[in-house]
Amino acid sequence: MATALEKTRVRIKIAGRVQGVYYRASTVQQAQSLGLTGWVMNCSDGSVEAVAEGAQTKLEALIAWCHQGPDGARVTQVDVRWETPENNFYAFSIRR
């Protein structure tokens, strides 16, 4: 695993009441405030998926936030998979 300052990548799958509660928009705001790049999207199964790249400590902060989410969300499960960074993101956005 990468050191705290090295760039790494994480894929996060969030389940529960996470669609229709501004989860994606709130995730973009959170990721941007942490200086991360990547994307977030709604999945057909009702979950939300995000891929983010940045410093491991910042990614861990995003993961911690995902367990709560915005007001109105009820998160029941957060699955995290660490990956090798691809360095192909320039911002953090909503993918449709």
Q: Considering 9, 11, 17, 42, which one is annotated as catalytic?
A: 42
**Is 24 known to be catalytic?**
yes
**How would you classify residue 46: left for phi > 0, otherwise alpha for psi between -120 and 50, otherwise beta?**
left
Give catalytic status of residue 96 as yes or no: no
Catalytic residue (choose from 11, 17, 24, 74):
24
| Residue 40: C-alpha distances to residues 16, 22, 69, 80, 92 (Å) | 16, 12, 13, 14, 8
Query: Catalytic residue numbers?
Result: 24, 42
